[in-house]
Structure formats: C-alpha cells, structure tokens
Structure 1
C-alpha cells in the first residue's frame, strides 16, 4: 500500500518525533531533505536533519508533537501543531529550567517520489521564550 502524503506527515510526527524512531528518517524522508526550523536552523540531507533532531531532543527529551489541523493544497500539506515537553537541556542560550513548555507552530511539507522532501516550520517563539524565562 502506498502512503498518502497525509499519512507520511502523520508518521513523521508520530514515528520520528514522538517515538524518536530514527529508522523512520530513512523510510519517510528524501535523501536530499531540506528542513528549515523556527530556531533559524537549516539542514540539508538526512544526516543534518538527524543532528538537528538530536540537539532538540537533548534540550527537550520528552518533546511531543501534536497535530491540531492538516490541510492539503496543490501537493503541499500545512499542519497546525502543538509542541510540548520539559526543558531539560540547553536550548538557544537558555540553560535547563525544568519548565514544562507548550507552544504552537505551523509546518509546511513538500514531497518527492513518495517521501517528504522539504519541511518549513514556523513556531511561536515569543511564547516559547516566555516559558523558558519563567523562574519556578
């Protein structure tokens, strides 16, 4: 059975991020995947994407990505997502706070030959920064 683009995106969030299944990177992402994240980080290829993933999960090891809405138009999928977890490692210039964080974002996915070829993410950094700056 061939994956639909929506199924690929659901698996991207569930397998790669929520289950932290690195084998799924090979299964779901194109070899030349381009990724641009909210954190002003751009990656090219699976290896750089996996390094980005490692950095984020070092900072927020229980990071969970939830899909709130998904729309497909002209072969592009847009997702409104919510991200949450606990800040346990250095993120940006913020030392670990142990704060629970939750913020929203939007991601745009493009596809090539049945795999995800491009991801562009925009997250609500103001909300994230406010949560990282809160003292307990």
Structure 2
C-alpha cells in the first residue's frame, strides 16, 4: 500500500500508462508518460520512447483487443512493481524474435507479466519487465507444449518417471543400480 501522496501518484501514473497506451493504443500519449532520459532495458532517451511506440503499435496490430489488467501492485519510494495479466486475440500478423512472423491464428492468449517502473519528476524514468512469451506462443499454437513423458526431477526433490514417484534426498543422486 502506498505510504504517501507521491507514491500513490507514481502508482496511478503507471496504471494510467497501461490503460492509455497499451489498452487503448494512444501512441501520441507515450511522450507524456516518459521522461527525456527514459531507459527501457538499456535503451535510453528518444530511442527508448520510439522503441516503446513501435512495440505497442505492433502488438496492437496483431492483437486489437490487447488488454493489460493490473493484478497486484507494490510501491516502494520511486519504484512501482506491477503483476499484470496480458491477454488478446491474434487477428493480425505478429513477428516474434523466437519464431519469426506468425500469420493470424484467431487464438487468444492470457499470460502474466511483471513490470518495474522507476518514476522521476512525475514521469517514468526506467522500465524493466519480464513476460511469459513461451506460454503466449504455446497458446497461439506457434510452439508445441512440452511433453510430459520421460523422467523429471521436481524442485522438491521427487523424481518422476512414467508416473512413479521415488523420494530423493536433496543433494544425493538416486541409485542407478550399476553399482
């Protein structure tokens, strides 16, 4: 929860950015949200704003009903963290660096994103984000979902092999029977 008026303003600014730019596609508003020295994943200034403009335009062309829903928010000083659900229907061409150009599939997707924005002088100064592009591409049919056959070891230390569970002590290797 925001502790003061500045933090509340910072959080509201980012929520408004998601709504105006991403949900409604108002590319002209981008310059109003970002400071002159805005940095996005290492790109700075006008180049970073142009990159955001190009990304939003491409995503909105591919997914005209694109929608970012803020699920949760953490505010700490000048930093605002949002857990966002991103959804849309693939009705236009979409180029993704992992798979190239995708023809419209008509399929919908719904995935989580995490975004961190740092606010300076009432505008967004920095952005970092992480998206679940693999899940999105799977939902769009661009990549196959992983197969569940074979043997995997969970983070809890249980080895699964064809549905049989065998406890394994963390830090030890399971017996192989080759002695």
Alignment TM-score, normalising by the size of structure 1: 0.84
Question: How many residue pairs were aligned?
Answer: 131
Once the two structures are superposed, residues 23-77 of structure 1 have per-residue CA deviations (whole angstroms, 9 ceiling, x without a partner) of: 32122111232223xxxx9674322221121122122122100000000124211
1:81 maps to 84
For structure 1, the 5+ residue unaligned runs are: none
Is the counterpart of residue 68 in structure 1 residue 71 in structure 2? yes
Alignment TM-score, normalising by the size of structure 2: 0.65
Q: State the secondary structure of the residue aligned to 2:103.
A: coil
1:15 maps to 20
Q: Aligned-pair RMSD on alpha carbons?
A: 2.4
For structure 2, the 5+ residue unaligned runs are: 1-5, 143-179
The structural deviation recorded for 1:125 is: 1.9
Distance 2:121 2:43 in 1: 22
Larger of the two Rg values belongs to structure: 2
Bigger RCO of structures 1 and 2 (CA < 8 A, at least 6 apart): 1
**Against the structure 1 CA distance between its residues 118 and 84, is the aligned structure 2 distance closer, same or farther, given a 3 Å change threshold?**
same
Greater fraction helix:
1
